[in-house]
Structure 1
Amino acid sequence: MWRLIACVFLPFAAGYYLSYLFRTINTLIAGRLASDLGLGAADIGLLTSIYFLVVMAAQIPIGMLLDRFGPRRVQSVLLAVAAGGAALFGLSTGFLSLLFARAIVGLGSAAALMSGLKIIVLWFPRERMALINGYMIMLGSLGAVTATAPAEVLLDWIGWRGLFGVLAAASALAAILIYLVVPERTTGPQGTRTPATLKTVYSDARFWRMAPLSATCIGSAWALQSLWAAPWLSDVERLDRTRLVNELFVMAVALSLGALVLGVLANWVRRRAKKSEALFGLVAAMLIVAELVLILHPPWPSLLPWCVLSMAGSATALTYAIIADYFPAELVARANGGLNVLQFGWAFVVQYGTGLILEQWPLEAGHYPLTAYQTAFGVNVLLQVAALVWFAAVPWLERRKRKAGGPVTRQPAGGWNSVEVVIPPAELAILEADDHAEW
């Protein structure tokens, strides 16, 4: 087992760590970029969010590549691309070149999480998947920890250009490590099984129950924690640079520990033959409450709600374990890719859209007013509440449909292939007792 961890798990955790560092580093260097290159809030929002846009666009083709060629080859090649993008970012002198370089970094980081999840599916037992996913996300989210106080030390020493040179070298080293150390493994022959396609994922009703809540909550947590937390602490809380970096560090630690805690909880829930969907719904509700506290801005420090928001970003430890229960192993990468499209897409919308909304208010002594943040965050919360209501209402609607005596479409435990099972009303009473068939 230790050899499996050292040669399979840790190299992919290292790749995910670098991708998380790339994702969150702009919250630390945004002020320096703005002062060095004269960038505004919308420019910083677009420059940072282009990462999410590129990752979103790459998810489905990368999921297919992972299923076809395996995570070892795909991840090693893309990390080499990320190394090139980081080097170009460090050499850039204008907004457009920075934007292009950041997009290249996003492309190179696009497979980091999916490849890690795929390698877990291939090598580790399914009943421990939620826990191991939690470990993967915890170690990867240490990149967000590194993008605070530790990176601040490097920034003071070598500047943001030198920092990206270091990141380029680390990405190239990780690409070589994965290619040379990780063994190959496939899911094996498919036999007579119905070919698994992306249509299988997007025609699954369970997927569409969870996807809107996953996108609006996890995507928002990523977007806010990886960029707008620092401006909020500066503009609203008026923290100096040292206190701001320290609070970002605490938030990043909360993100990392949240992944571990949620992984352990998901594993505990699964071992007791319960479903993880209720736990995910609870995390989403906690995120909404935390954002409402930020919007209302009571007269006490905002670190606690920001930590709750950061922890919600690690709820992928739950959603990807849920996805693994819905679909067979050979379709898991594409299913995760389908979910990532929505999560990363929403992160792009929130990150860029927040910058656009903030710029509708004039600066007051170099800071955006609280009202601007309340408006931006409030729009986001309304959509999250709608998604949570949908998530909670679907099982209730299904039960009402049964009581009305209409036919109910059910899915096999391993997810849909191309067969739709329609259950006549006369058989519904028998199926009511099957707890495992409930939503």
Structure 2
Amino acid sequence: MDPSLTRRHLFLSILFPFALGYYLSYLARVVNAVLAPDLVAELSLGADTLGLLTASYFFTFAAAQLPLGILLDRYSPRRIESLLLLVAAAGALLFALGDSAWDLIIGRGLIGLGVSACLMAAFKTFTLWFKPEKLPLLNGIILASGGVGAITATAPVQAALSLTDWRGVFLLLAGLLLLSSVIIFVLVPDHTEERPQETLREQLRGIGTIFRDRFFWMIAPLTMLSQSSFISIQSLWAGPWLQDIGGLERTAMADTLLLVAAAMVAGFLAMGTLAERLARIGVRPILLSAAGMLTFQCIQLLIILGPAAAWLSPVWIGFGFFGTTGIVQYAVLSQHYPRHLAGRVNTAMNLLVFVSIFVLQYAIGAIINLWPQVGPGQYPAVAYQMAFGFALMLQAGAFSWFVREYRRGRAVTR
């Protein structure tokens, strides 16, 4: 840690502002899992349109990543994030006031663009102020704040619907995003370290170096597909599955999603702490993450097979806990590459993750929509089995690739 920061300053000036931003980012990301029945009822949406609407967040989020990496390595992370959060606030306002599916698609796309820096700006700032060995733990803390956002998007949002409607939820979100922008701009310090004076061409060449590196491509497919499957299902399709297949009423569904989100918080904190401690005895974080992602695949198989009612909550809690393990690879990448590339390497990984989320979230909806509804807005078990099975098949292939590349030793690991 930089000696100029006391523990109090650390919390108030760096962790709290970025944690608030990422909290709101994740709240906006997953809130549609609870609000989906209201959106479907008011706008008469099919599963494919609902998937596209929710996935538009991920499309604009992904599109911002490479330019964002250049900006974060060149300019102040706090200025970039505070500016983009204003865009997110405008998107939430449009979503709240929209009267058509396209109004909501555009509004959600603006939200995705606006929160695209929330995590990456934090990661970049951490690389400036802290030692590399501290990054897994710090990344885990900031990610846990996103988990708290996911918790808020479940039972608390469901409870809020007794006081307002989905439009009121997004009006409140717009105000909070505006507040977060101001807090980050005012409180977060700019690091005084001199950065390499790279031209735009040199920065673009740095991105090319990352995308040509075997180490990056050893990690990328498995991390990309594990995270995209987790977020695609958690942020939308978990809610409909719990109602259609799990047989839960809406309140019980929201309560189960809350448990999933709480498990995600625990997973982020546990994996960050465990990665740091195991590294001290020579266990590489890359192996911890890979083992966790394999466990995550096994849990998805249980969901596809249809857990017994008594095991419904434990299996989905495991889904939330082990779904976080892929995120450890971001710290692996930050430790492997020079610090001046930190913004670009993390956003390069994020680009792949969020492009695949956009595609996969829509694809799951399209696959489910191939089967006729068995009730208003309800689909049969085989529809979910085929859709979730498609996501699992992709992850299994990526895990095989990772094992092969790691054993061949084609990249230097740390």
How far does residue 52 in structure 1 lie from its aligned partner after superposition? 0.8
Aligned residue for 2:366?
A: 356
Shift of 1:242: 1.5
| Residues 227-236 or 321-330, more deviating | 321-330
Kindly name which structure, 1 or 2, has the bigger radius of gyration based on alpha carbons: 1
Is 1:381 the counterpart of 2:392 in the alignment? yes
Q: How many residues align?
A: 403
Match of 1:85 in 2: 91
Hey, what does 2:249 align to over in structure 1? 240
In the other structure, the counterpart of 1:253 is 262
Residue 186 of structure 1, CA deviation: 5.0
Given that 2:227 and 2:327 are in contact with CA atoms closer than 8 Å, whether structure 1 keeps it comes out as no
Aligned position for 1:422: none
Q: Confirm or deny that 1:222 pairs with 2:231.
A: yes
CA contact (8 A) 1:221 1:313 kept: yes
Cα distance in structure 1, aligned partners of 2:362 and 2:312: 23
Q: 1:174 aligns with which of 180, 203, 210?
A: 180
Once the two structures are TM-superposed, the CA of residue 342 in structure 1 deviates from its matched residue by 1.0
Looking at structure 1, the residues matched to 193 and 27 of structure 2 have their Cα atoms a distance apart, in angstroms, of: 31
Q: Distance in 2 between matches of 1:256 and 1:298?
A: 23
Amino acid at match of 1:152: Q
In structure 1, the residue matched to 2:4 is none
Conservation of the 8 A alpha-carbon contact between 1:286 and 1:308: no
Question: How far apart, in 1, do the equivalents of 2:156 and 2:254 lie?
Answer: 10
| Equivalent of residue 343 in structure 1, options 318, 335, 353 | 353
CA contact (8 A) 2:373 2:380 kept: yes
Unaligned runs of 5+ residues in structure 1 are: 399-408, 411-436
- 1:5 — aligned with what? 11
> Structure 1 residue 195: deviation in Å?
5.2
Q: Deviations over 1:10-37 (max 9, x none)?
A: 1011101110000001101110010011
Identity of aligned pairs, percent?
A: 37
Answer yes or no: is the 8 Å Cα contact 1:85–1:102 preserved in 2: yes
Contact 2:333–2:345, Cα closer than 8 Å, also in 1: yes
Given that residues 290 and 326 in structure 2 are in contact (C-alpha distance below 8 angstroms), is that contact kept between their aligned partners in structure 1?
no
2:26 counterpart (20, 29, 34)? 20
Q: Within the alignment, does 1:307 sit opposite 2:317 as a pair?
A: yes
The alignment status of 1:184 with 2:194, answered yes or no, reads: no
Task: State the match for 2:407 in structure 1.
Answer: 396
TM-score normalised per structure 1: 0.88
- Which sections of structure 2, spanning at least 5 residues, go unmatched? 1-6
* Matched residue type, 1:340: N
Q: Which residue of 1 aligns with 2:46?
A: 40
**Aligned counterpart for 1:122 among listed residues 107, 125, 128:** 128
The amino acid of 2:303's aligned partner reads L
For the residue of structure 2 that corresponds to 1:352, the secondary structure is helix
> Distance in 2 between the 1:355 and 1:238 partners?
19
Query: 1:322: which partner in 2?
Result: 332
- The amino acid across from 1:364 in the alignment is V
State the Cα distance separating 1:266 from its structure 2 match.
Answer: 0.8
- Is the counterpart of residue 280 in structure 1 residue 286 in structure 2? no
Candidates 66, 74, 89, aligned match of 2:72: 66
Match of 1:135 in 2: 141
Residues 130 and 317, structure 1, Cα contact 8 Å, conserved in 2: no
Output the amino acid matched with 1:365.
Answer: G
> Alpha-carbon deviation of 1:302?
2.5
Q: Does residue 106 in structure 1 map to residue 112 in structure 2?
A: yes
| Structure 2 CA distance for aligned equivalents of residues 376 and 226 of structure 1 | 15
Q: Residue type of the partner of 2:393?
A: L
1: CA distance, partners of 2:192 / 2:140? 23
In structure 1, the residue matched to 2:3 is none
Distance 2:281 2:139 in 1: 18
SS of equivalent residue, structure 1 residue 157? coil
CA contact (8 A) 2:158 2:251 kept: no
1:322-376: CA deviations, max 9, x gaps? 0111111111111001100111111112211111011110111332000011111
Label 1:30 to 1:189 Cα distance change in 2 as closer, same or farther (>3 A).
closer
For residue 167 of structure 1, report the CA deviation from its aligned partner: 0.6
Asked if 2 retains the 8 angstrom alpha-carbon contact of 1:218 and 1:312, the reply is: no
Structure 1 residues 13-22 or 122-131, which shifts more? 122-131
Compared CA separation, residues 43 and 132, structure 1 to 2 (3 A): same
Please state whether the residue corresponding to 1:171 is helix, strand or coil: helix
Q: How far does residue 277 in structure 1 lie from its aligned partner after superposition?
A: 1.1
SS in 2 for 1:39: coil
Shift of 1:96: 0.7
CA distance in 2 between counterparts of 1:37 and 1:246 reads 25
